[in-house]
Structure 1
């Protein structure tokens, strides 16, 4: 039986503990009713089977969450049908159009314009979500294996006094190992840094079994103190702030079983190669801010050596379980990701909501333009401002 504890509390799914599960279920049910859920989506999630499953599973939660915020990035001609589909579910859905012209104007006027991506979309929802619930659960919409119980599991540590809970799970599909960016980039890079520096932040980052998972839960107070990266560095940036605010004692990770996700190509800016640059920038910023001074002249070669050793271990693990495994392909990915290792660029993170230059209500107004057109006291839900940029 696997029950190993890391430097952070690691909550396993053992099974066969029905009595305790009933106790936890009661606490978690109360927590769900007081929680806001954030599920970021882009145009490709519209009527996607995985996203449909996520929303259908959320419908089964009893009680329902206090609110379900769906920050959506979609073209102007698609946001109407997208919103109609989302609002067809029996959920307290609040759709936020993250590339609405009024959102771009709101951010630009506050000096926060510029880059956008998943991180910015989640940040826009975090302020309103923290105002709507005593805790906030964030998860992706691309898991075809999603279960409503994941919300309860993520919230359970918060009922035990933890401030931050991260999900972890196996990425195993089609008789192959996935989770490639974590296995082949994050894990060997953190291992390389930890081998050269004795720093608590590296112990913290190494304690997470799937640090790049998009599933986490935080208290509303901690949600307001996250400085969110704008794009794919969201998960790593969140860990840096969780370390600062919750630390080892206030952090837990929760077993969410096995996930089946959509898969990205490796090459290109929209693939894992491009994502690795975002992850590298935020990871190295996190460790530098906490006293680690990487030797960039040798870091790339040391990372490649650490990754090569891990590939030998993955190969053995795959063979032991009868899985297909291609070491040459994995080493090709390792080399691609190595090119991302460089000193972090300018800090473009968004501010903590405690320091934000506007209120969550301002986001709700700007991100829901269909609610702003009232004529003769009637609410017009079918009009949007079509000046969207993308």
Structure 2
């Protein structure tokens, strides 16, 4: 790993000192901290979540663990609660789609709040933030399918926030996405879509503050991040696959860049999504929604948009830059003795490239997205909603 710094403060993994659980535990006792895991019930049958539980059980001093659970029945929620028995801290297994939760959120329509969105990670994250912020000052989010989860993940994500002298409000993870089975490079949505897309946009419209900001993140689609309560309460939460980019846009809107850091978590592996047979499936659907989130952020923070005459240029630029990246990853893989399918990678670039024109045209017809309102706004309407939500999600 290099030691370079840029627009976003980068915390490298130099491999010299060992991350200390004892040191983290001392800091956790000084500042109430929550870990939030949005979760489908199906994850309880997989080894990843079992490993995550075992690692977290060693976090002496953690204020609470919030499991934002999507479940089909009370029986599934009961099983989830039993799974987390005997943890050394409070565990809230919050049933995000329970009848009581839906009824409670629907009741807010009278205040003009639309809180019953399509269930997904964004909805779960929003509910989890509301619950965690009741008693915790720092909140870290991890997915439930991380196969390489180790103590260094929470240690490195939380320490920049726990010590307030660092002045950090938001921490974003980055890592090397490698398959545990084959060591092959993963993360195609980041490597072959978002990276080439942002470079293409820069060539097309030039440097801009928001575009430079996005490009400063080494893994903008990382689903692992942490923030202090003040920031968490003021974030609008996107409801689609544009969640990670949309949250980066919200962070950009709310805090100074000097208060943002990105942290190297080393090698990382979790479930891999297939590319999909059409634009409404798999990675193609994901990238379509990510593209909308990028374009919306550029509109919102740079007051720039694409016109029809620029679409063809973007398509050509993306294809050229994407294929250049494929050759770079091919060489990187070869020297590191990693398997690499150059043909499949170029096919991915071609499929992603075909998404651009129809996705951009559709976006320009309706650029405003559905976002869950910030908790600061919600509480201004009903100050008791967080605690009522906590109670509604219990069985």
**Partner residue of 2:259?**
250
CA drift of 1:325 comes to: 1.3
Are residue 317 (structure 1) and residue 332 (structure 2) matched?
A: yes
Please list, as runs of the form range in 1=range in 2, the aligned pairs for 1:13-28 lying within 5 A after superposition: 13-17=13-17, 26=23
SS of alignment partner, residue 157 of structure 1: helix
CA drift of 1:87 comes to: 3.0
- Cα distance per residue 1:99-156 (max 9 Å; x no partner): 1122223333333323221111111111111222111101111111101231121112
- Cα distance per residue 1:326-378 (max 9 Å; x no partner): 1221122223223443343432011111111442112212222x1xxxxxxxx
Aligned equivalents of 1:103 and 1:232: distance in 2?
Answer: 23
Aligned equivalents of 1:190 and 1:31: distance in 2?
Answer: 37
Higher helix share: 2
Aligned equivalents of 2:33 and 2:244: distance in 1?
Answer: 20
Are residue 116 (structure 1) and residue 126 (structure 2) matched?
A: no
**Partner residue of 2:99?**
101
SS of alignment partner, residue 287 of structure 2: helix
Q: 2:370 aligns with which of 348, 353, 364?
A: 348
Alpha-carbon contact 1:38-1:69 (below 8 Å) kept:
yes
Q: 2:69 aligns with which of 62, 72, 85?
A: 72
Are residue 293 (structure 1) and residue 290 (structure 2) matched?
A: no
**Partner residue of 1:175?**
183
Structure 2 gap ranges (5+) = none
Alpha-carbon contact 2:24-2:155 (below 8 Å) kept:
no
Q: 1:322 to 1:17 in 2, by over 3 A?
A: closer
CA drift of 1:45 comes to: 0.5
Q: 2:44 aligns with which of 46, 59, 75?
A: 46
Are residue 303 (structure 1) and residue 318 (structure 2) matched?
A: yes
CA drift of 1:278 comes to: 2.2
In the TM superposition, structure 1's runs of 4+ consecutive aligned residues that sit over 6 Å from their partners are: none
**Partner residue of 2:172?**
166
Q: 1:125 aligns with which of 114, 128, 138?
A: 128
**Partner residue of 1:367?**
393
**Partner residue of 1:3?**
3
**Partner residue of 2:287?**
276
CA drift of 1:78 comes to: 4.9
CA drift of 1:277 comes to: 2.0
TM-score between the two structures when normalised by the length of structure 2: 0.86
TM-score between the two structures when normalised by the length of structure 1: 0.87
Are residue 62 (structure 1) and residue 60 (structure 2) matched?
A: yes
Aligned equivalents of 2:236 and 2:44: distance in 1?
Answer: 28
Aligned equivalents of 2:40 and 2:214: distance in 1?
Answer: 28
CA drift of 1:293 comes to: 1.8
Aligned equivalents of 2:91 and 2:211: distance in 1?
Answer: 38
CA drift of 1:89 comes to: 4.6
CA drift of 1:235 comes to: 1.0
Aligned length: 365
CA drift of 1:194 comes to: 1.8
**Partner residue of 1:383?**
none
